[in-house]
Structure 1
């Protein structure tokens, strides 16, 4: 059977080449997504600061809820979770452990000689530590001595870049105005020139404990000796990190990188798989449709349906297997390219290491082969069910009707898409994006199943215009398109997918980003915003209030909290953006809508929640709310006010002195200041006391998650671009294949007296018809989802984003459609002239 299948493949190279290219491109995408997904689960950032310790103990950064009869739910915390300092001594007494070293880590920004703040290595941060933890790298002195109470040791790279040497005075800013320290020594990490993404500043151990703000806590514990028997001898919530996993205990970057890769690759893998199946099915259906006479003849000469099915299966297995195997290596390259791009836009760590194993390649081969077999079986099903004589009759002309199952499935998908569009109006914030994007993809698949019906209706309308023309080529184009609705649908559907999917993905992201900015700035009534590259000390708000003319000022301390409701039907945990503010300073700086209660009472053990979050938790004003702060601290503040949810300011407001100690940096994102124009100069002079401080207009406010949303926009754009390249390939595939298959038709037209010029004009008219229908349907599909999403987020049905992107998407799609029909048509007309 395989030898016979190979002969049929060689006889129909053009058709099977189209199927091969579709599966080859799909294998590349699936392999890349598989590698990224595996890396999100098992990849990581190599340890730098803790590279000398065989094992590092860190706190569990997740909250998990155990549910009966359901899988457990968990959410990761936003901040570093500390360990009790007393645990260092307990670990040191475990048999086999030679010593345990507690790590203290906090931001320590070095101020240069020109009063400018200095970043860490490679644009990262400089972090303060106790000198006793220098052996975790290890750092060794290259000059000077260990630090005393008012002294520091700088790492060699930072000292060279800042031009400080032993004996110099250096100013360092932690969470307040800079303080002067004497440089007692210079240290370098053994075996390398510097750390990547961070610089180290070592203080005397007692000084480091005080500056950290939590003298009874440590960030992590490095363990030396035999570390294999630590499991089972540690308190609950303490994790043992070894090997590559130590990097996750060192920085939040590793965990955040894995989360981003898991989230992105997980969500896009589903889209990619659906698109690959859709495109593969469309291409194979086109190829099999061109072989209707051949398959019918096989049935007529006594081939059984099982034999024909085995032949098609063998052909498909050969093509899909080779395409999948050849697509694995380029897929690995694409995965590394995507990883590098994610680093460039700042969503994963520069030193994040991908996890490579045979699993993604094996999964890709199985998925591609399985998708191809399913597509081939479903496409040939009707032909194989017919009697041989009926098959010959139906092979002569295109089937007039769609199957009942296909009609029902297509209609059901359109109904599901419609329900998803309606739900967009009622879901809060970012959640509304899920049905908006999914409904478009579901609608396009439904349109693909009902393609001949929909394009047939559109063609009859357009054909009416063409039939009124006296030109023969337009007359022929109209009748060709009307009689061959399946062929037309195969050309239109990929273009509809390209336009509809691209427009929805791009404009849904820009609409959410604009809504976040707009809502944050609409709620901000302050006159000025104070910012700094590394964060602003919260005490700057009090310093600003001492300036004559300033009427109010409050810090904005951004973090995330987790609310728990075990009685919730689906989601017992809810992660929300939260801000720490000074309640009595909100008048004149921040004005949220729909406030019930009094935000000025926000002090002490209190919290204000959005009405959405309060409703989800079933809480009313006066109730106690169980919440986890970013460092796993559980609090039960009293709910004193509710407000309308604001995408910029999230779901919770806390008193700033409650939230600040539970953030990793203990710095504010910005300071809001209300005052008359005369205070601008005095605010600018604060930069002399707080280097790096910048005074901005409120229109330049950037809320904490704007950078993350911008990164997500870039993620969507690049992944969307990769997928659209594949879809564009499939469009060219389908259109070129279907056009080249019309050689017999072109020869007949030439024999009947048609000139080459008339044939080319007929194809031009058909190409205009195809792209016109595709543009109209592709542009119409995302209209309601984007309008409802924009109405939900911004109050207007017009989505945010530049118009030129839509015009560019349509223009590229039109160009692909026109070229994919007209260029093969030129070749056909030349061949038909040589071989009448």
Structure 2
């Protein structure tokens, strides 16, 4: 039986090719994802470890420690650094002061990628040099107006020692002279970021405070362990600081990187799972048709003594061979995909640290298990069916078709699953379980619809009859062929249905959410422009002052955030500082009670959720403790309806600013005399120094930014789901090719009684298009339902959400489904047209 199975694989290698390709693509996606994420994770981890080579202990503020007021713990002082440096176990100690620094290239554009654009201090210490940043050219910055650039940034921007560059830390443009270029093991730089070094005093004035540091890193003296050094350092620390070993820092960074990569890996593996799930239909279809075509052969094996178990085993051995070949090929293809993805990331500017491709043993095992497991699982039912063929079937060329009772059982099970899945989806709308109920319901519903597809195929395909009549005799034959074997048609169409369900559902959700956000921005903001930094880091208050001094600006309000303790002692509340005189002209918030009038002194307005949470009404007072530890009392002067863009406790900036540790704005809203126009926007950008780090956006710009994010995400999802669609196309090709082989005698008879080659091709093409459109209609229908259900869940937290059906895109999806049918039919149609009539008629 083993030799028989292997001979069957070789005899049917052309028919098994599409099945092998389907499994190969799925395995390649799995192995490529595992190799890519392992490679990136390891590269970042090694890069981070290199940056901690000279760090045995790190001292940093302890934000969890009790302090006099809310907010971040105080910075570390020079006295602490001096004390740590003098410890017996200290070899070297460095004070760090760092933060955001946006560097402009020679064309005035932002260099780096937002959050990876950093600035830091050059700490010379006692020796006059900072071991972290050895200079490859020039010298270190020594005074205000001087900077040093990392070598990678200098290379890609073309800056050299002596050049003048423009940069921004928190808003205002600074012009600095490059005095040196340095090398570094900093992981952010290795990943494509930028690092700008200032002299120590300048960095402290920009990022911390004079004589203060955000972190102190300590290198142990020879013979001192990290734990011994930590114990020595801990004895010096104040209550609001903590010491951590370098090993713990490395472990923490590794855990963060692992967590970040895990999220990406999970997402990519989900799409790989979809591709493999689609591939199951192709494999099951292929082996079902192979079993049907070999009815006489299998029955004869039974007649000469083969047991049911041996027949089942022979079919599964064939599946095992296909699975092994596909798994090994998929693993190799996945390694190639991972290498290509890393190269692509580097090509588009998302630099990845250097390092080898990581192909772990778990990746190899996962690829083989997935490839072989999926193939064997999909082939099991056809194998069972083969074993049930009675020996007497050897006397007939056609095995018995499915009984009416079998179809009735299938339809009953399908109806129960579809109804149960639909009920779970509807029940999930109002449940607060992160969509688990809805996700489970969606999976059950899709399975139920798949089970019902043989029943659904007849009415749906019948609806296409008027169009098929245009194809004459070929069209009529195509319709009959499509409904002749509803199980096969259903399995083929279901593969395409799954891909289009996900694509349509995501398109509906993205379009509806974007529309809701556009509406929200239009209704909530009446300001002409909103000014912020490119990476939404805090703005210096000078930006708002510069704008307020302009005569063409009618209203300005900076938004400032500050943490406070309330009467309850909660650290979870933040105050939002605004300009009490201007805010009413810049936002549109409906008030349930009170108004913005009188938003001065100790008056505050709160959103309805916060008021309900604390039981506040207009006129009530509540106590607060500010960042500087000062106690105060605020009075509720208004209660407004919050939205996704504006919420919380608001009061006048004049009240909150004196209590802030560091005065900085999240953004600045403003209105102008000229209103929104390109000329006005250009004028504002010039007034702010044509700063690459500053964004001046109107409501349309904000909406387009959000739309860009949605569009980018949607395009990525389209690209990932394209794998499932490609697998579905292979399924249609496979089904049609094997169907043509199965119907050789019938096609020969049709050719003999007058159906020409063109008519034969048309018949196969129309059959393919009908099957593809059947899957497309089911996919689009399910996608709209899922999109509506998820939208109803979103609407519970977003009042402006409303369902938007992308009719044009749904039309494109159906047109693409038809195109899939046409392309999939090219080879089978050509093969059918080339059949020799006489040989085909004699085929048994």
Cα shift at 1:27: 0.9
Alpha-carbon deviations, 1:612-631, whole Å to 9, x = none?
x999xx66548999x9x9x9
Cα shift at 1:129: 1.5
Cα shift at 1:798: 1.9
Cα shift at 1:6: 0.9
Are the equivalent residues in 2 in contact too, given 1:170–1:180 (CA < 8 A)?
Answer: yes
For residue 826 of structure 1, the aligned residue among 814, 830, 840 is 830
Task: Report 1:645-684 matches (<5 A).
Answer: 646-648=643-645, 668=665, 670-677=667-674, 684=683
Which residue in the other structure is 1:138 paired with? 133
DSSP-derived class of the 2:803 partner:
coil
2:204 corresponds to 1:209: yes
Which residue in the other structure is 1:480 paired with? 481
Task: Report 1:592-741 matches (<5 A).
Answer: 592=589, 611=609, 621=616, 646-648=643-645, 668=665, 670-677=667-674, 684=683, 687-688=686-687, 690-692=689-691, 695-701=696-702, 709=710, 711-741=712-742
Are the equivalent residues in 2 in contact too, given 1:324–1:369 (CA < 8 A)?
Answer: yes
Task: Report 1:70-149 matches (<5 A).
Answer: 84=76, 97-109=90-102, 119=111, 125=117, 127-132=119-124, 135-140=130-135, 142-143=137-138, 147-148=142-143
- Equivalent-residue separation in structure 1 for 2:660 and 2:720 (angstroms): 33
Cα shift at 1:291: 1.1
Alpha-carbon deviations, 1:656-681, whole Å to 9, x = none?
89999999998656421034328986
2:218 corresponds to 1:218: no
Task: Report 1:431-580 matches (<5 A).
Answer: 443-462=445-464, 472-531=473-532, 533=534, 536-548=539-551, 550-555=553-558
Cα shift at 1:523: 1.3
- Equivalent-residue separation in structure 2 for 1:63 and 1:373 (angstroms): 55
Are the equivalent residues in 1 in contact too, given 2:19–2:286 (CA < 8 A)?
Answer: no
Are the equivalent residues in 2 in contact too, given 1:141–1:185 (CA < 8 A)?
Answer: no
Task: Report 1:315-326 matches (<5 A).
Answer: 315-326=318-329
Alpha-carbon deviations, 1:107-139, whole Å to 9, x = none?
34568999x687469996351324338635323
Which residue in the other structure is 1:154 paired with? 148
Higher Cα radius of gyration: 2
- Once structures 1 and 2 are overlaid, which stretch shifts more, 402-411 or 207-216? 402-411
- Equivalent-residue separation in structure 2 for 1:579 and 1:313 (angstroms): 67
Cα shift at 1:485: 1.1
2:159 corresponds to 1:175: no
DSSP-derived class of the 1:100 partner:
strand
Are the equivalent residues in 1 in contact too, given 2:764–2:828 (CA < 8 A)?
Answer: no
- Equivalent-residue separation in structure 1 for 2:658 and 2:55 (angstroms): 28
- Equivalent-residue separation in structure 1 for 2:62 and 2:285 (angstroms): 48
Cα shift at 1:189: 2.4
Task: Report 1:241-256 matches (<5 A).
Answer: none
Q: 1:106 to 1:381 in 2, by over 3 A?
A: same
Which residue in the other structure is 2:7 paired with? 7
Are the equivalent residues in 2 in contact too, given 1:537–1:667 (CA < 8 A)?
Answer: yes
Are the equivalent residues in 2 in contact too, given 1:53–1:222 (CA < 8 A)?
Answer: no
Are the equivalent residues in 1 in contact too, given 2:147–2:180 (CA < 8 A)?
Answer: yes
Are the equivalent residues in 1 in contact too, given 2:149–2:195 (CA < 8 A)?
Answer: yes
Cα shift at 1:13: 1.9
- Equivalent-residue separation in structure 2 for 1:312 and 1:59 (angstroms): 65
For residue 182 of structure 2, the aligned residue among 181, 184, 188 is 188
Q: 1:710 to 1:456 in 2, by over 3 A?
A: closer
Are the equivalent residues in 2 in contact too, given 1:131–1:202 (CA < 8 A)?
Answer: no
- Equivalent-residue separation in structure 1 for 2:380 and 2:658 (angstroms): 62
Q: 1:497 to 1:427 in 2, by over 3 A?
A: same
DSSP-derived class of the 1:306 partner:
helix
Structure 2, unaligned runs of 5 or more: 65-70, 235-240, 565-570
Are the equivalent residues in 2 in contact too, given 1:56–1:240 (CA < 8 A)?
Answer: yes
Are the equivalent residues in 1 in contact too, given 2:164–2:178 (CA < 8 A)?
Answer: no
Q: 1:349 to 1:599 in 2, by over 3 A?
A: farther
Alignment coverage as a number of residue pairs: 787
Q: 1:101 to 1:460 in 2, by over 3 A?
A: same
Cα shift at 1:742: 2.5
Which residue in the other structure is 1:291 paired with? 291
Cα shift at 1:286: 3.2
DSSP-derived class of the 2:825 partner:
helix
Are the equivalent residues in 2 in contact too, given 1:286–1:738 (CA < 8 A)?
Answer: no
Which residue in the other structure is 1:588 paired with? 585
Cα RMSD (Å): 5.5
Cα shift at 1:203: 3.5
Task: Report 1:754-765 matches (<5 A).
Answer: 756=757, 758-765=759-766
- Equivalent-residue separation in structure 2 for 1:178 and 1:757 (angstroms): 71
Q: 1:306 to 1:785 in 2, by over 3 A?
A: same
Q: 1:55 to 1:779 in 2, by over 3 A?
A: same
Q: 1:54 to 1:677 in 2, by over 3 A?
A: same
- Equivalent-residue separation in structure 2 for 1:449 and 1:492 (angstroms): 12
Are the equivalent residues in 1 in contact too, given 2:529–2:698 (CA < 8 A)?
Answer: yes
2:401 corresponds to 1:398: yes
- Once structures 1 and 2 are overlaid, which stretch shifts more, 224-233 or 266-275? 224-233
Alpha-carbon deviations, 1:767-789, whole Å to 9, x = none?
34323423332322222233455
Which residue in the other structure is 1:774 paired with? 775
Q: 1:17 to 1:122 in 2, by over 3 A?
A: same
Are the equivalent residues in 1 in contact too, given 2:146–2:198 (CA < 8 A)?
Answer: yes
Cα shift at 1:550: 4.0
Cα shift at 1:830: 1.9
Alpha-carbon deviations, 1:52-71, whole Å to 9, x = none?
7343767999999xxxxxxx
- Once structures 1 and 2 are overlaid, which stretch shifts more, 139-148 or 515-524? 139-148
Which residue in the other structure is 2:568 paired with? none
DSSP-derived class of the 1:396 partner:
coil
- Equivalent-residue separation in structure 2 for 1:830 and 1:749 (angstroms): 13
Cα shift at 1:371: 1.7
- Equivalent-residue separation in structure 2 for 1:303 and 1:659 (angstroms): 88
Are the equivalent residues in 2 in contact too, given 1:440–1:500 (CA < 8 A)?
Answer: no
Q: 1:101 to 1:605 in 2, by over 3 A?
A: farther
- Once structures 1 and 2 are overlaid, which stretch shifts more, 547-556 or 779-788? 547-556
